[in-house]
Amino acid sequence: MLKRMRSFLVVVMLLITATMSAQVTTASMSGKVTAQDEPIIGATITAIHEPSGTRYGTVTNVSGQFNLQGMRTGGPYKVEISYVGYQAAIYKGINLSLGDNYVLNVSLKESSELLDEIVVTATRNSNMKSDRAGAITNIGEAQIAMLPTVSRSMNDVMRLTPQSANTGNGFAVGGGNYRQSYVTVDGAAFSNTFGIGSNLPGGGSPISLDALEQIAVSVTPFDVRQSGFIGGAINAVTKSGTNDFYGTAYTFLNNENLKGNKVGDLELVREKSQYYTYGASLGGAIIKNKLFFFVNGEYEDNVTAGPASKARVNSTDDWGANTANINRPTVSDMNEIRNYFIDKYSYDPGRYQGYSIKTPAYKVVARLDWNINDNNKLNFRFTRAHSKDNSGPTSSTSPLYASDIYPGGTVDNISKGSGTVLSNGALYFENSRYFKEYNFTSYASEWNSKWLDGRLNNMTRMTYSFQDEPRSYNGAVDFPTVDILKDGAVYARIGPDIFSPGNLAQAKTFVATDEISYTTGIHNFLAGFQFEYNKATNGFQQAGNGFYVFNSWEGFKNNELPSAFAITHSNAADYSQFKAQMKTLQYSLYLQDQMNISDNFKLMAGIRFELPKYPSLKNNYNEDFAKYDFGGVSYSTDQVPSAKISVSPRVGFNWDITGERKFVLRGGTGIYVGRLPFVWLVSAVGNSNVGQYQYKYSDVNMATLKPHFQPSVSGVLNELYPNGRTTDIVAPIDPTIIDKDLKMPSTWKTSLAFDVKLPGDIDFSVEGIFNKDINPAVISNKVYKPSESTITFSPNDTRDVYTKYSDPSWVNGPKQNAFYIENGGHKAYYYSFTAQLAKSFDFGLYLSAAYTYSKAKSYNDGIGDQVTSSYKTNTYSVNGINDHEMGYGTYVTPNRVVASAGYRVEYAKKFASSLSLIYEGMNMGYAGGYGYSRYSYTFAGNIVGDGGANNLLYIPASREELNDWTFVEKTKNSVDGKYYDYKMDGQVYTADQQKDDFWAYINQDSYLKKHKGQYVERGGAIMPWHHQLDLKFMQDFYMNVGGKRHTLQFGVDIKNFLNLLNSDWGLYKTVNSSNLLAYDAYGEKGTGIGKGYTFQKSSGKRLTDTYTQYKNFNSTYSVQFSVRYIFH
């Protein structure tokens, strides 16, 4: 009865289906059994995972074919093929790769009583034993253990993928940016689904590497089970217990003294840091061959440095740039302020100098595997990771403008708007720092079953992932933020960072998947479905506890009114915090047939149907904003995309040209649907003004409500609204609008590869990949429109000028925006060409090397944690951003070489030594403190008036052309607004000197000199090569304990080993300045003096060279020591 019920449910699930991004957690094996070139029907295939005794079995069909699905990754496996009247064939030492199919073709011989079975030991796995069609990189347990890594993050492992690059924001692969890969562990989502930060949740390390058995990075997986990405599908599986009881305890040690502090002749100042990891793993059998367990736990004893800045001892002491981190405030003033808050408000704002912060972390993994019987296998896995980092307050003053609230002054010569809390004119107390917590919890369970002698297989999986990232801080949670000014600039900051109170980012993902496969004849049919439910929650309230700005310390003590004030609060009657939420659902069906067209040719063809659903935002309607007219079009804050089915056909092939697995041609083509970061989508709710309200003023004389200082947010609100508040929902300044026709970004991927087994057992591959993006997502600001006029900057440089739609009735006036998430055009693309070699030697040496050339054109880089910042971050353009001009993707490095060497040798029966090297050379450097493979030359500001990014330069065709450009010798002073001489080395920097220097710079720059007479391309300039060699060495000492071999292992990981050898090696380069020209379109009022170009200086000096050494710890080496004890 149960069997009939289960069969009925399987049929139902094939008809009612749902998925967004299927995952792969197992491996498979297939092949053909013949005798004298004829297929054997009914031969018995038995594969045994020797460490656990897990058995998989089937029989060959009428074509002699067999197919084993849902197999444990790794090995070694022993495979026995038997048939009456023939010698049994046994294959040993087979290891299976995640998501891959191992090809085992067998020719049996007639039996003889004098002959035993034939035993064959497999050699090291290579691509030649796989029938994969696309580009995939598999990294197994042994390789993970050998890889040099100081961060112990999955990103360090995944960099072995030739088509990848780890830029400043995280791991990017296969033409996608850091947000456009889909990561799973045991089938559960391990991507940074919410979208703030790097590509992985958990602060970039959601699971210990010691818990992982394999990682597979698939750039073009033509298997329809995999989706949800533009770049690549990254799947990993955790370790399982075996019949052999196994355990390990270990520690990794790293601190500031193990980091290089020299960049050439410059010595960097080391600040206190400590990263000590203590961990243990245990695995074994609860019931031999039946029930297994594996657990791993890690604790990190981490310490982060506090601020480097210090207060002056005396008011006559020097401070600022020419001192050793000495800032303007004095010790006596800071102590007085701290004691005042303690005595009057019982609030200790914390220390202000000379301290460090503890940031402990932990990770836990637990897994059970149950071989119910030969036909049913079940596993369950739990992971939990917690970490946090500590940061100083942001310099941003949003929702106020720094230029409005920090007027600057002439006493300390601090310019208007520059005297923020992070300037050298200020110090902050410890409670103004914040902890960004990274909590990540995941559950996964999978049931694999089979019927009909293994011809019918079913997999059912359920997973849950919870990304929980709140901010926290020391001190009372409801205390306001206070800036005390002196001479028009911040002198001291008390209370939490403006953006920390109530700051929360959460993403919950539940996935249910079922897949059924059936083998008959030359066909292996697959049908699957998956249901995915996502819920994102975002708590974000600028100045949520209240933000006070006081002109002086005396003014604060005398209870004067603040010169500026802001608060964001809920529209609820009790002012309880509003949290923006958005839910999405996804349904899909996928069907596939893998056909053995011949013994040498396999063809895979499949199709996916995906249907996203966005629940109504009926409580998010802002009536005031809906009335606004943007050129005959209105928008609503409750818009959501309509449900549209996307269709993704795919086909892949693998052709063993000679039938010897020595020459393989493979490839395919197909469509893949990606996803958008939830932080963008949920901002439609958070930025609508429906759930929360913001009150602010920058001029107390113009304010309607003028609160005195209150030491709690409840006191602030009670003073603002003594009789309660009548909700008045006005139009938001910066709403996020989602296009009703928005589709998830997708891409059409095609690849073709040729694998060759060269003489000497060398694996060689060449592979080409091409992506054509479909429906890429872009951010527009619908309030901007081209004006009817243009502006001419030079005879060959005329551009459109932009203006805003406006109406006198708009409550926000000229500050109104309308950020719009929509689909861009269809011109974006990516292609790469890869050549790689690999060779494994019998004496323990393994070598591999790959070179990849890549190019990508895109509409944006996908950067920005808020839609407002995404609109103008790296979206450099000639004209307005709303035109969405094409540019190069800075996340794709044009040239990359990755090479690895591993050697392990055991000797004297008591020892073993291992050495592993990873070389990574690619175009990579820094611009403005961020890592890129490419960069752009721009103006020092936006010159077309669309409120966006800096505009791209026009490069003069000749020095003579510059004679027609207007360069000026006076520039505007930001403190008093007057125009003064523009000087270099104490002398007026004349117009002719600027032209000469600009032209000289062009001719020394490799990009600019080749594009004279043209506009700069976004991302057109390529970073110089960066060479990095990482090293890992392990020394094992064997001991016999109770008849078992135990191991004591000492290890060292060195990142950037070349820099350890020489402080001039392994360094990054940074662009001295990418903002080459400034343009003042108006000049001095009445005279026009200062209207025109100025050639920009670099740190006050003449700009002559493109690059200089990047004087940062990212350029230097880092060493990590480890001790490990292993027992069986």
> What digits encode the pLDDT tens for the residues 843-852?
999 999 999 9
Please say if the pLDDT value at position 1098 is more than 60.
yes
Q: Are 836 and 751 in contact (CB under 8 A)?
A: no
Report pLDDT for 796: 94
Closest of 355, 710, 717, 745 to residue 569, by C-alpha: 717
Q: In what order do the strands lie in the sheet with 212-218?
A: 136-140, 212-218, 233-238, 182-185, 188-189
Please say if the pLDDT value at position 564 is more than 90.
yes
Closest of 253, 144, 50, 131 to residue 1051, by C-alpha: 253
Q: CA–CA separation, 911 vs 585, rounded Å?
A: 55
Quickly state the pLDDT bin for 112 (edges 50, 70, 90): low
Please say if the pLDDT value at position 114 is more than 60.
no
Specify the DSSP class assigned to residue 819: E
Q: CA–CA separation, 1025 vs 933, rounded Å?
A: 9
Among the ranges 317-321, 556-560, 686-690, 871-875, which has the highest mean pLDDT value?
556-560
Q: What is the pTM of this model?
A: 0.92
Stretch 670-690: mean pLDDT, rounded?
93
Report pLDDT for 126: 53
Please say if the pLDDT value at position 140 is more than 70.
yes
Report pLDDT for 1128: 87
One-letter amino acid at 164 equals S
Quickly state the pLDDT bin for 661 (edges 50, 70, 90): confident
Please say if the pLDDT value at position 13 is more than 50.
no
Please say if the pLDDT value at position 410 is more than 80.
no
Q: What angle do CA 753, 758, 762 make, to 5 degrees?
A: 90
Stretch 197-209: mean pLDDT, rounded?
92
Report pLDDT for 1024: 97
Tokens of 1018: 């976004």
Report pLDDT for 616: 86
Give me the chain's average pLDDT, please: 92
Quickly state the pLDDT bin for 15 (edges 50, 70, 90): very low
Stretch 312-328: mean pLDDT, rounded?
90
Render pLDDT for 719-774 as a digit per residue (tens, 0 to 9).
999 988 877 889 999 999 999 999 999 999 999 999 999 999 999 999 999 999 99
Q: Are 545 and 713 in contact (CB under 8 A)?
A: yes
Chain CA centroid to CA 684, Å: 22
Q: CA–CA separation, 415 vs 131, rounded Å?
A: 66
Quickly state the pLDDT bin for 121 (edges 50, 70, 90): low
Burial-class residue 46 by CB neighbours within 10 Å (0-12, 13-18, 19+).
Answer: middle
Stretch 516-524: mean pLDDT, rounded?
93
CB atoms within 10 A of CB 10: 17
Q: CA–CA separation, 596 vs 674, rounded Å?
A: 30
With H, G, I as helix, E, B as strand and everything else as coil, classify residue 1112. coil
Please say if the pLDDT value at position 637 is more than 60.
yes
Quickly state the pLDDT bin for 499 (edges 50, 70, 90): very high
Residue tagged 């199709």 (tokens): 607
Q: Are 153 and 173 in contact (CB under 8 A)?
A: no
Please say if the pLDDT value at position 894 is more than 80.
yes
Please say if the pLDDT value at position 111 is more than 80.
no
Render pLDDT for 769-788 as a digit per residue (tens, 0 to 9).
999 999 999 999 999 999 98
Complete domains list, the chain, with CATH: 12-127 (2.60.40.1120), 140-240 (2.170.130.10), 919-1024+1052-1110 (no CATH)
User: What are the b/e assignments for 824-851, b being 16+ CB within 10 Å?
Assistant: beeebbbbbebebebbbeeeeebbbbbb
Stretch 176-185: mean pLDDT, rounded?
94
Percent of the chain whose pLDDT exceeds 90: 83
Q: Are 1102 and 984 in contact (CB under 8 A)?
A: yes
Stretch 529-557: mean pLDDT, rounded?
96
Q: Is 372 left (phi over 0), alpha (psi -120 to 50) or beta?
A: alpha
Percent of the chain whose pLDDT exceeds 70: 97
Q: CA–CA separation, 1024 vs 894, rounded Å?
A: 11
Report pLDDT for 3: 43
pLDDT greater at residue 956 or residue 660: 956
Report pLDDT for 2: 38
Please say if the pLDDT value at position 584 is more than 70.
yes
Stretch 271-293: mean pLDDT, rounded?
96
Strands (E), 825-910: 829-840, 845-858, 887-888, 895-907
User: Which region among 153-157, 409-413, 471-475, 634-638 has the lowest average model confidence (pLDDT)?
Assistant: 409-413
Among the ranges 862-866, 962-966, 1084-1088, which has the highest mean pLDDT value?
962-966
Report pLDDT for 123: 59
